[in-house]
C-alpha cells in the first residue's frame, strides 16, 4: 500500500511523470508552488508557501516526488496522502504539512482537468453560490488609532464585510499598561470608523499569558467582535476552554496544526468555537474536509486561514463551497502587487467582499513562468515579535 503500484489500471489523468517547484518574490512574502505533470499531458498546481522556509518546502517536494509520486495515479488521493505522510515518517510539522497540502491541491487540479469539471465538484459540490471573504494585511503601516481607522474605512469601501487585524504590536506574554491602552484604543478607533455592521476579528498570534488574555477578553467585550483569534500559545492548549468560558466573543484558532492528528487535542479539549485550518498547511482538500466534518461534530464552524497567494485563495474557495459549516474565508489578496495575479493566471478575483462560483476545470489556475523569472524570491524575514513588525518590512 505504501509503494506506487504501476500495475493498477490508470485513471483519465494518466500517471505522474514529473514534479517541479517555483517561487515568486513579493513585498509580502515569497510564494512557493508545486507543479505536477502527468504522462497524459496534464499539469496540476498547488501552493507550498512557507513564510520563511521556501527553500526547504521546495526541496522536500522535489525529494518526495521520487519517493512517492512518480508513476502514481493522481486519482488515488487518499493513498498518496498516506504514502507521503506515513511513508515519509513526517509525523506532522510545518514543512512536511505544507508539502503534503500543496501536492494534494495539485492532485485535485489534475482530477478536475481530466474530468472537465471544477475541483469543487469533487469535494462535495456547492452549498452556496459564492464565498464570503474578509480582508487581512490592510493595516500595514503606523500603529496608531487614527491610521488604523483611516485604512479600515478605505478597506470597507472596497466591499469587504469583515476585517481582521492585530492591534498589539510586539507584545509577547504580557503587555505594559501603556501598550494595553494603545491596543484597545486601536480597536475602538476601527470599530468607530467602520460602524456596527462590519464584522471585526482581532488577531492574538498565539502569544499571550493566560492572565493577559483574560484581561483582553474583558477589555475587548464592548466592541462586539466576531472572534478573538489565538489569544494563547498552543503549548497551553488546555487553557483555551477556560478562556472561552470567560469570553463573550467566540475564540478561534488552529492555523498552526497540519492534520487531524495534530488537531486531536484541540477537538478533545473544545479549545475553540471556530477552527481555522489552512488549505496549504493542514493537508489540502483531502484532510481539510475531514477537519470540517469533525468540527461539525463539536458544533464548531470553519473559517479557513489563508495568508498565502491568490492560488491558495482560489483553492480554498473550491474547498469551502461544499462545507455546510463554513463561516468566512481570509484573504490577503488586496495587499499584493499586480504581477502576482499575472503569475497565477486564472486566480479568482474578490468582488465586493465575495468570490463567485468557479467554472474552469480543476482549480482554473496556471503558473506563468516568465513572471516568476522576473520576480525571484528574496528569502527575506520579518520578526513579528519585534517592534514595528506591522509595517511588514522584510529584511
Q: List pLDDT tens digits, range 97-114.
A: 999 999 999 999 999 999
pLDDT over 90 at 90, yes or no: no
pLDDT over 80 at 2, yes or no: no
What's the pLDDT at 1? 59
pLDDT over 90 at 360, yes or no: yes
Rounded-to-integer distance, Cα 325 and Cα 330, Å: 15
What's the pLDDT at 294? 98
What's the pLDDT at 132? 98
pLDDT over 80 at 387, yes or no: no
Which 3-state string (H, E, C) describes the chain? CCCCCCCCCCCCCCCEEEEEEEEECCCCCCEEEEEEEECCCCEEEEECCCCCCHHHHHHHHHHHHHHHHCCCCCCCHHHHHHHHHCCCCCCCCHHHHHHHHHHHHHHHHHHHHHHCCEHHHHCCCCCCCEEEEEECCCCCCCCCHHHHHHHHHHHHCCCCCEEEECCCCCCEEECCHHHHHHHHHHHHHHHHHHCCCCEEEEECCCCECHHHHHHHHHHHHHHCCCEEECCCCHHHHHHHHHHHHHCCCCEEECCCCCCHHHHHHHHHCCCCCEECCECCCCCHHHHHHHHHHHHHHCCCEECCECCCCHHHHHHHHHHHCCCCCECCEEECHHHCCHHHHHHEECCCCCECCEEECCCCCECCCEECHHHHHHCCCCCCCCCCCCCCHHHCCCC
pLDDT over 90 at 92, yes or no: no
pLDDT over 90 at 181, yes or no: yes
User: Which position among 256, 305, 318, 375 bears the catalytic label?
Assistant: 305
**C-alpha cell of 332?**
490577503
pLDDT over 80 at 204, yes or no: yes
Average pLDDT over residues 183-196: 98
What's the pLDDT at 257? 96
User: Which position among 205, 236, 298, 354 bears the catalytic label?
Assistant: 205
What's the pLDDT at 169? 84
Average pLDDT over residues 179-204: 98
Name the pLDDT band for 357 (thresholds 50, 70, 90). Answer: very high
- pLDDT, mean over the chain: 95
What's the pLDDT at 383? 74
Name the pLDDT band for 276 (thresholds 50, 70, 90). Answer: very high
What's the pLDDT at 28? 87
Average pLDDT over residues 238-246: 97
**In degrees, to the nearest 5, what angle opens at C-alpha 322 toward C-alphas 321 and 325?**
95
Q: Grid cell 469533525 — which residue?
A: 294
Burial of 387 (0-12, 13-18, 19+ CB in 10 A): exposed
Q: What is the pLDDT of residues 304-352, one digit of tens each?
A: 999 999 999 999 999 999 999 999 999 999 999 999 999 999 999 999 9
Does the annotation count 211 as an active-site position? Answer: no
pLDDT over 70 at 394, yes or no: no
CB-based contact 74:46 (threshold 8 Å): no
pTM for the model: 0.95
What's the pLDDT at 389? 65
Q: How far is CA 308 from CA 24, 31, 49, 95, 272, in A?
A: 12, 7, 7, 15, 23
Does the annotation count 205 as an active-site position? Answer: yes
**C-alpha cell of 255?**
492555523
Average pLDDT over residues 18-32: 96
What's the pLDDT at 391? 62
CATH assignment, 121-363: 3.20.20.120
What's the pLDDT at 316? 98
**C-alpha cell of 124?**
462535495
Q: What is the pLDDT of residues 34-78, one digit of tens each?
A: 999 999 999 999 999 999 999 999 999 999 999 999 999 999 999
Average pLDDT over residues 203-212: 96
pLDDT above 70 coverage of the chain, percent: 97
Rounded-to-integer distance, Cα 242 and Cα 245, Å: 5
The domain locations on the chain are 121-363
pLDDT over 60 at 161, yes or no: yes
Amino acid at each position: 500500500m505504501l509503494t506506487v503500484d504501476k500495475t493498477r489500471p490508470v485513471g483519465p489523468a494518466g500517471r505522474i511523470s514529473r514534479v517541479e517547484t517555483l517561487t515568486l518574490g513579493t513585498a509580502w512574502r515569497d510564494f512557493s508552488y508545486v507543479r505536477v505533470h502527468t504522462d497524459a499531458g496534464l499539469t496540476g498546481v498547488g501552493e507550498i508557501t512557507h513564510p520563511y522556509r521556501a527553500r526547504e518546502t521546495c526541496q522536500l517536494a522535489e525529494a518526495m516526488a521520487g519517493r512517492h509520486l512518480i508513476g502514481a495515479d493522481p486519482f488515488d488521493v487518499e493513498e498518496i496522502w498516506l504514502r507521503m505522510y506515513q511513508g515519509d515518517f513526517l509525523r506532522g510539522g510545518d514543512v512536511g504539512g505544507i508539502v503534503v497540502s500543496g501536492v494534494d491541491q495539485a492532485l485535485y487540479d489534475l482530477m478536475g482537468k481530466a474530468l472537465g469539471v471544477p475541483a469543487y465538484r469533487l469535494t462535495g459540490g456547492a452549498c452556496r453560490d459564492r464565498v464570503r471573504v474578509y480582508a487581512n494585511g490592510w493595516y500595514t503601516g503606523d500603529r496608531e488609532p487614527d491610521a488604523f481607522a483611516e485604512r479600515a474605512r478605505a478597506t470597507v469601501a472596497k466591499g469587504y464585510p469583515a476585517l481582521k487585524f492585530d492591534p498589539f504590536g510586539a507584545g509577547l506574554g504580557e503587555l505594559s499598561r501603556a501598550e494595553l491602552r494603545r491596543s484597545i484604543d486601536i480597536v475602538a478607533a476601527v470599530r468607530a470608523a467602520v460602524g456596527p455592521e462590519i464584522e471585526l476579528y482581532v488577531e492574538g498570534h498565539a502569544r499571550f499569558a493566560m492572565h493577559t488574555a483574560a484581561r483582553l477578553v474583558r477589555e475587548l467585550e464592548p466592541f462586539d467582535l466576531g472572534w478573538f483569534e489565538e489569544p494563547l500559545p498552543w503549548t497551553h492548549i488546555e487553557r483555551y476552554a477556560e478562556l472561552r468560558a470567560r469570553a463573550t466573543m467566540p475564540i478561534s484558532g488552529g492555523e498552526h496544526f497540519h492534520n487531524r492528528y495534530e488537531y486531536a487535542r484541540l477537538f478533545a479539549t473544545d479549545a475553540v468555537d471556530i477552527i481555522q485550518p489552512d488549505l496549504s498547511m493542514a493537508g489540502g482538500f483531502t484532510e481539510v474536509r475531514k477537519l470540517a466534518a469533525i468540527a461539525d461534530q463539536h458544533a464548531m464552524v470553519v473559517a479557513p486561514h489563508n495568508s498565502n497567494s491568490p492560488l491558495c485563495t482560489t483553492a480554498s474557495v473550491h474547498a469551502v463551497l461544499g462545507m455546510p459549516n463554513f463561516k468566512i474565508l481570509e484573504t490577503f489578496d488586496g495587499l499584493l502587487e499586480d504581477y502576482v495575479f499575472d503569475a497565477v493566471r486564472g486566480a479568482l478575483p474578490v468582488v465586493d467582499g465575495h468570490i463567485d462560483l468557479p467554472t474552469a476545470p480543476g482549480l482554473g489556475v496556471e503558473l506563468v513562468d516568465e513572471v516568476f523569472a522576473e520576480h525571484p524570491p528574496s528569502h527575506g524575514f520579518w520578526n513579528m515579535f519585534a517592534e514595528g513588525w506591522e509595517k511588514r518590512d522584510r529584511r
